[in-house]
Structure 1
Amino acid sequence: MAEADSARRRPNRRGSATRENLLEAALTALASGDPGAVSANRIAKEIGATWGTVQYQFGDTDGFWAAVLRHTAERRANIFAAPDPSASLRDRVAGIIDTLYAGLTNRDSRAIENLRAVLPRDYAELERLYPQTAAELFSWGQGWQETCRNAFADLHVDPDRVREVTWLIPGAMRGIASEKQLGTYSDLDAARRGLTNAIVAYLDDGRR
């Protein structure tokens, strides 16, 4: 019986296409900003699938949201290239800032921001209700920390300052990206330069 069930669930071309279609439909729906779009059942109906299809492919809503997060993470896997050993501290900081600025307003980023907005804010509650989704978000944080550590590892920067900057940058860049999306009289290029200058000065002051 177990072997038959395993065979039934073995990936095939049609099943893989359905899975991909569901994930892409989720990103499009979530990116719209419609609060009602955060519904796995509604997303399935939009592409002519059923809730049973979602369950078969992902198990439940938690598995679906976790797969959506993983899908976007896989596409961003190489967005931050290994640092050029000859690159200056300023070039490395500016590279991170510019990459985030370019990416935070695209469809995938908007979708993930809207998904996160409806998930429980309390970590214990998130882990209780959506354990797979929480684990995926945690892995994102771990990956981001590793990216920043690697970016400055050979520059002898104080690791405590790197850790502080690691958590500062995403929030600061979301604010700037939000201004870009809303429309603003602010000079966002100047804002990015100012943020870059501040981070460079702080990290440079902490070199050993």
Structure 2
Amino acid sequence: MTTEVSGRRTNRRGLATRDAMLDAALRTLASGEPGSVSANRIAKDIGATWGTVKYQFGDVDGLWAAVLQHTAERRGELPYRENNTAPLARRVIDIVEMLFHGLTTVDSLAIENLRAALPRDHDELERLFPQTAAEFASWKDSWARACQKAFADLDVDPARVREVAAFIPGAMRGLVSEAQLGSYQDEDVARRGFANAIVAYLERPVAD
């Protein structure tokens, strides 16, 4: 009995340590400072040796994959997944607003800085960081499925939903970048216009 309780305590303590390390890694990545995407810098900011980090995550690829999984667990799901009665326009607006505000979080800043430091070529990324590449690939698929589910009960062409799902993340990053750079554009008008354009496209009759 004592061993089991001790084991549970050890597991809880180990998980807490792991989560604390991931949170510290995210803060370092989000800073965007020179060297922030460095295994040794991450280990230093975490307050651990690289050997301790390797014990938890295996290698730098395992660390990056764990960081991405950690953010995925925290960001939640798209709104209106089930038993939704909201009209199309309301659903699109809510998704746009959720992404806009979500892309300004520490987690999103960290992910953007990590992406910028990783190889752009998919083959090279998969060769050098297979776990990290697999995690990014899974995000694409889960995002597409979430978008299909968000509109599944409406009379909307699934092919158009796939197209919208493909361009929304990049377009939203552009709107967030404009806001962060101090654009003279009205942010609210920009998001409203973007949402209205998506709604108009999804509502347009499909040609025979």
| Alignment TM-score, normalising by the size of structure 2 | 0.90
AA partner of residue 41 (structure 1) = N
Unaligned runs of 5+ in 1: 1-9
AA partner of residue 141 (structure 1) = K
**2:179 paired residue number:** 180
Which secondary structure state, in structure 2, belongs to the residue aligned with residue 203 of structure 1?
helix
**2:49 paired residue number:** 50
Change in 2 beyond 3 A, CA 1:93/1:71: same
CA contact (8 A) 1:157 1:206 kept: no
Structure 2 CA distance for aligned equivalents of residues 15 and 199 of structure 1: 45
**1:36 paired residue number:** 35
Unaligned runs of 5+ in 2: 1-8
**2:95 paired residue number:** 96
Q: How does 1:44-193 map to 2 (within 5 A)?
A: 44-78=43-77, 80-82=79-81, 84-193=83-192
- 2:197 aligned with 1:198, yes or no? yes
**RMSD (CA atoms):** 1.9
CA contact (8 A) 1:83 1:92 kept: no
**1:3 paired residue number:** none
| Alignment TM-score, normalising by the size of structure 1 | 0.90
1:78 is displaced (CA, Å) by 3.4
Structure 1 CA distance for aligned equivalents of residues 140 and 205 of structure 2: 23
AA partner of residue 161 (structure 2) = V
1:123 is displaced (CA, Å) by 0.8
Structure 2 CA distance for aligned equivalents of residues 155 and 43 of structure 1: 46
Point out 4+ residue stretches in structure 1 off by more than 2 angstroms.
Answer: 10-18, 77-81
